[in-house]
């Protein structure tokens, strides 16, 4: 069974100062995992993890990863702005966007970021935006078809909107080389949230062989290969977690089999593991405030889908611990729900849990990535606070909860608004 990284007593202490719901993050777990990733790929001299800012865009958390030489993978203007404000230099910023506004290319270039072109037409867009092509460029690859491992089909790149076809990629390298690009990179994301140690080694083999062919055919100098994300976490308690050291060793074997004999043993490897880096080290803490007995048994909590969209959007499983009842029998079947005017606002459906009473704290696991960041304001619901549980047992609010004033702030241009709210 999954175990919370903190206690009921600590959460009650925090809740006396910061009202539920809130997202809480485990500094100790984040640091241990970042170190493990660094060690797993230490055999590659140029290795760097570019944390996917979209997963958890909080500077307090990203600064922890910065201590382990992680960079930022950005996909929008505000993510670039955040990374720049935090002092990341260009070598530590990867700009991987799609359907990209020209001003975002300019911002990325201003920061010196590595620009990862998602589409062949991005060459023209980039040149129009900047007036030139940077000396270092990455291109995103989509092989099409299905991507399969020994345990079955993992995903369908052919249905993905991301990346260039094989022919487009070769054409892009030729054109970019003619335009003066001196350093090339390849990027690909072929499957999401894989809970298997096979994914990165298999992806590596595809990209390493492609890199050798590209360099031989086009003469382009490939200096880095970005394996992107896709290394997942076990949301369900019966799933076996990935072992990042086994994964790193698997990639090393492929690297020595494919790249080293081709004279490409100096190619740096990059990753963008937002979910793996942060997911298990965050949780949504919410309190039971209501119960309803009709055709099913419902427990209403003070969080809702605006605090954690994944169950409503994907039907995603997030494990729930009723704090203080970890050892009690799971002999009650509940739907755990929020208060939105939408019937998919459910954190669990027909979930066997201990008996829940009003006032109980529920710890919803694995929300450290794509949890808070996917929030929204439907029904006028406000964003929650974020809290960092420090290694020494203390805690710090790292984002305050949103207020009604924040919610209405984009109306502050209006005299009618100011009159309405007495301003």
Over residues 29-63, the pLDDT tens digits come to 999 999 999 999 999 999 999 999 999 999 999 99
Please state at what angle helix 244-258 crosses helix 199-218, rounded to 10 degrees: 30
Q: Please give the helix or strand (H or E) that residue 291 lies within, else none.
A: strand 282-293
Q: Please give the helix or strand (H or E) that residue 389 lies within, else none.
A: strand 385-389
- Token pair for 112: 């010196």
Contact 114, 138 (CB under 8 A): yes
What was the pLDDT predicted at 295?
A: 97
Q: Name the band, by pLDDT with cuts 50, 70 and 90, for residue 423.
A: low
The stretches of 45-192 forming alpha helices (DSSP H) are 59-66, 77-85, 102-111, 122-130, 166-178
Q: Name the band, by pLDDT with cuts 50, 70 and 90, for residue 415.
A: confident
What was the pLDDT predicted at 154?
A: 60
Over residues 223-251, the pLDDT tens digits come to 999 999 999 999 999 999 999 999 999 99
Q: Which residues contact 197 (CB under 8 A, 6 or more apart)?
A: 242, 243, 246, 247, 250
Q: Name the band, by pLDDT with cuts 50, 70 and 90, for residue 151.
A: low
Rounded Cα–Cα distance for residues 220 and 228 (Å) = 21
Domains and CATH numbers, the chain: 24-278 (3.20.20.10)
The catalytically annotated residue of 72, 139, 330, 341 is 341
User: Percent of the chain having pLDDT more than 70?
Assistant: 98
341 belongs to the catalytic site? yes
Of the candidates 113, 109, 104, 173, the one whose C-alpha atom is nearest the C-alpha of residue 141 is: 173
Model pTM score: 0.95
Interval 62-87 mean pLDDT: 98
């Amino acid at each position: 069974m999954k175990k919370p990284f903190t206690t009921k007593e600590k959460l009650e202490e925090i809740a006396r100062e910061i009202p539920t719901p809130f997202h809480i993050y485990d500094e100790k777990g984040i640091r241990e995992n970042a170190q493990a990733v660094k060690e797993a790929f230490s055999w590659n001299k140029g290795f760097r993890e570019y944390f996917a800012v979209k997963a958890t865009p909080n500077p307090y958390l990203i600064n922890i990863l910065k201590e382990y030489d992680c960079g930022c993978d950005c996909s929008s203007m505000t993510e670039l702005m955040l990374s720049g404000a935090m002092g990341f230099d260009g070598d530590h910023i990867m700009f991987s966007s799609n359907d990209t506004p020209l001003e975002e290319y300019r911002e990325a270039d201003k920061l010196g970021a590595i620009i990862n072109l998602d589409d062949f037409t991005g060459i023209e867009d980039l040149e129009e935006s900047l007036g030139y092509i940077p000396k270092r460029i990455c291109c995103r690859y989509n092989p099409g078809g299905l991507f399969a491992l020994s345990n079955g089909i993992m995903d369908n790149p052919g249905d993905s909107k991301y990346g260039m076809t094989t022919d487009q990629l070769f054409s892009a390298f030729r054109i970019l080389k003619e335009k003066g690009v001196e350093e090339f990179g390849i990027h690909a994301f072929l499957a999401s949230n894989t809970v298997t140690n096979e994914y990165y080694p298999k992806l590596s083999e595809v990209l390493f062989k492609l890199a050798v062919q590209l360099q031989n055919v086009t003469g382009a100098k490939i200096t880095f290969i970005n394996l992107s994300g896709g290394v997942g976490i076990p949301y369900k308690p019966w799933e076996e977690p990935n072992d990042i050291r086994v994964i790193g060793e698997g990639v090393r074997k492929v690297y020595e089999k494919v790249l080293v004999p081709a004279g490409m043993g100096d190619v740096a490897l990059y990753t963008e593991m937002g979910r793996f880096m942060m997911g298990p080290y965050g949780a949504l803490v919410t309190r039971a405030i209501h119960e309803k007995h009709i055709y099913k048994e419902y427990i209403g909590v003070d969080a809702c889908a605006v605090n954690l969209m994944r169950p409503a959007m994907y039907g995603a499983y997030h494990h729930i611990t009723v704090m203080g009842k970890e050892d009690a029998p799971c002999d009650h079947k509940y739907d755990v729900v929020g208060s939105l005017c939408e019937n998919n606002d459910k954190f669990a459906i027909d979930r066997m849990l201990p008996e829940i009473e009003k006032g109980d704290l529920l710890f919803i696991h694995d929300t450290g990535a794509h949890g808070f960041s996917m929030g929204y304001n439907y029904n006028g619901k406000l964003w929650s606070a974020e809290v960092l549980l420090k290694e020494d047992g203390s805690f710090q609010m790292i984002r305050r909860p949103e207020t009604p004033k924040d919610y209405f702030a984009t109306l502050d241009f209006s005299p009618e608004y100011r009159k309405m709210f007495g301003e």
